Amino acid sequence: MGRLFGTFGVRGIVNRELTPRLAFDLGLALATYLGNSGRVAVGRDNRTSSEMLEQAVTAGLTAGGCDAITLGLVPTPVLSFGVRHLSCDAGVMITASHNPPEYNGVKFWGSDGAGFSREMEREVEGIVEAGGKLVGWNEVGEISAADVIEPYARALLERAGKLRREWRVVVDCANGVGTLVTPRLLREMGCRVITLNGQLDGTFPGRKLEPVPENLGELSRAVVACGADLGIAHDGDADRTIVVNERGEVMMGDRVFALAALHRLTERGGRRIITTVATSSVIDDVARMVGASVARTRVGEPEIIGEYRRSGGDVGGEENGGVFFFDWSFCREGILTALTFMKALDAHGGPVSALDSSLPRYYQVKRRVECPEEKKAGVMEALRARFGGQRLDLTDGIKVNFDDGWLLIRPSGTEPIFRCFAEARTEGRARELAEMGLRELQDAISRT
Ligand code: MG
C-alpha cells in the first residue's frame, strides 16, 4: 500500500481513491489506535459524498468499540472546537477543503483539537495496513448526535465582541459549510451582511473553492456593485479567509494574516509569531511594531503546530490565508480570522485599502516549474552550490535573502514541480528576482 495520508489527511477522488470501504477501515484504525474505547466527534462538509463517508467512518469507529458523536454539517474549525467542547478523545472531519467537488477527504484530530501529527498519521496508516481490531458484539460503540454550532457561536462572539460601526460586508462561502456560521456571526457583531454563494450545494456551482484572486472575480464585482466596505471569502471548509477591499481588489493571504496577527497581538498581548518561509516579510514588520519575534518553519499546517508545541507562540499563519490563534484553538481558524479582521478594521476606522496601506507594501511573483521527482534532490544540490556564499535559509528548499527582497525555490511535496517565489519592495525587483530564480532552476534541471 502506498502512503495514505497526504499534506492534510487522506484525500482522493470519491469511489476511486477514497471509497466507503477505506473510510470504514480508517474509522476502525482510529478506534484501534485509541485502544478500542473512547469518544470520537465526527463532522462533515456538504460534498455529495460526505454523508456516505461519515456513515462509513462512524461504522468503523463503533465496530472498533468507540462511541461516535456526529456533529453533522460543520466548518472544520467547529469540528476542532467540538472535540474539546464535548471532551472527546479524537475527532474526524470529512472534507476535501479547497479541492474540486469530486474529491473528499478524511482528517483526524487529537483531543486538544489539533490535527494529527505526521507521526500519529503514520501509526494509523500502519494499523490500516495490518487491519484494525473489531470488538465483540457487546462492546460495539454507540452513535449519538450533538449540535456544537450554537456553543461555538456563543463562545466566539463573546471573544470577539461587538463592532462600533455597521460595516457592509459581502460574504462568499462558495456554497460550502462556512455559510452556516460566518454570515450569522458577522451579523451578530453588527455588520450588514450580503451573502454570495450562500446556499449549500455539494456541486459548488458558484465558484472554485480555493480562495485565490482568479476565483474571486464575482466577489470583487459584488463588493463594488453593492458599495460594500469589504468582501470576505472562505475555502470549502472555512479554515482559510481572504479579504477583498472596498475597490474590489483581492488582498493576499499573508496580508490578511499580518493584519489579524497585528490586531491580536495589540489587543491581547503576546510575543511570538509562527509562520513559514514562504510568508511575506510584512509579518516581520508586524513583529517589529509590537516587539514580537517571528519563527519560520517549513511549509505546511503541521509544521506550524509542531513549532508551537516545541516553543510556544501566540499567533501562527500561512501565506494562503490560514491563521491560528493559539489561545483559542490549534486549528486554522478562518471564521475567527474574519471576525478579527473586522475588529481590526473597526479599530482603524477604514477603509480597508487604508488599513492595508498601514503596513509596508511588497510585491510578490509566484511561479512553478515542472521537474521529475527523481531529479529534485540533484537540482537542490546544484542550487545550493550556485547560491553558496549568499545569505541562505535552508529551512525548506532554498531561500536567498537580499537587502531588498528574497527568493524562495522549493520542491513541492505532492507534485512533480518546483515552486519559485520572489518578493521585493518594488514590482520590477520582484520580477527580476523571480526571473533569476527561474533561470537558475531551469539551468539546474537541464544539467541534472
Ligand atoms: Mg480548508
The reply to whether 80 belongs to the active site is: no
CATH topology (fold) of 167-244: Alpha-D-Glucose-1,6-Bisphosphate; Chain A, domain 3 (3.40.120)
Q: Distance from the CA of 394 to the center of ligand 1, in angstroms?
A: 27
Q: Characterize 211-235 residue by residue with b for buried, 16 or more Cβ atoms within 10 angstroms of its Cβ, and e for exposed.
A: bbeebbebbbebbbeeebbbbbbbb
DSSP H or E segment with residue 164: none
103 Cα: distance to centroid of ligand 1 (angstroms): 13
| Domain 10-148 coded CATH 3.20.20.70 | no
For residue 233, give every residue at least 6 positions away whose Cβ sits within 8 Å of its Cβ, in sequence order, or none: 171, 172, 173, 174, 211, 216, 219, 241, 242, 243, 244
Question: Which residue type is seen at 31?
Answer: A
Concatenate the DSSP letters of all residues of 39-54 into one string: EEEEEE-S-TTHHHHH
Cα(199) to centroid(ligand 1), Å: 18
Domain assignments of the chain as residue spans, ordered by start: 10-148, 167-244, 253-357, 363-447
pLDDT tens string, the chain, 448 residues long: the values are 457 877 668 899 999 999 999 999 999 999 999 999 999 999 999 999 999 999 999 999 999 999 999 999 999 999 999 999 999 999 999 999 999 999 999 999 999 999 999 899 999 999 999 999 999 999 999 999 999 999 999 999 999 999 999 999 999 999 999 999 999 999 999 999 999 999 999 999 999 999 999 999 999 999 999 999 999 999 999 999 999 999 999 999 999 999 999 999 999 999 999 999 999 999 999 999 999 999 999 998 889 999 999 999 999 999 999 999 999 999 999 999 999 999 999 999 999 999 999 999 999 999 999 999 999 999 999 999 999 989 999 999 999 999 999 999 999 877 899 999 999 999 999 999 999 999 999 999 999 8
Phi and psi at residue 366, in whole multiples of 5°? Answer: -125, 125
Could you tell me the distance, in angstroms and rounded to a whole number, from the CA of residue 91 to the centre of ligand 1?
A: 16
CATH topology (fold) of 253-357 = Alpha-D-Glucose-1,6-Bisphosphate; Chain A, domain 3 (3.40.120)
| Cα 435 to ligand 1 centroid, rounded to whole Å | 31
The rounded Å distance from CA 332 to ligand 1 centre is 8
Tell me if domain 167-244 and domain 363-447 are identical in fold: no
- Phi and psi (nearest 5°) for 413? -80, -15
By three-state DSSP, how is residue 235 classified? coil
| Topology of the domain comprising 363-447 | TATA-Binding Protein (3.30.310)
CA of 308 to the centre of ligand 1 (A): 20
**Cell numbers that stand for 217 in this block:** 472575480
DSSP 296-317: EE-SSHHHHHHHHHHH--SEEE
Q: Single out the catalytic residue among 80, 97, 281, 329.
A: 97
The neighbourhood of ligand 1, an ion, using CB within 5 A, equals: 97, 235, 237, 239
What is residue 248's DSSP assignment?
A: S
**Buried b or exposed e, range 368-404, using 16+ CB within 10 angstroms:** ebebeeebbeebbebbeeebeeeeeeebbbbbbeeee
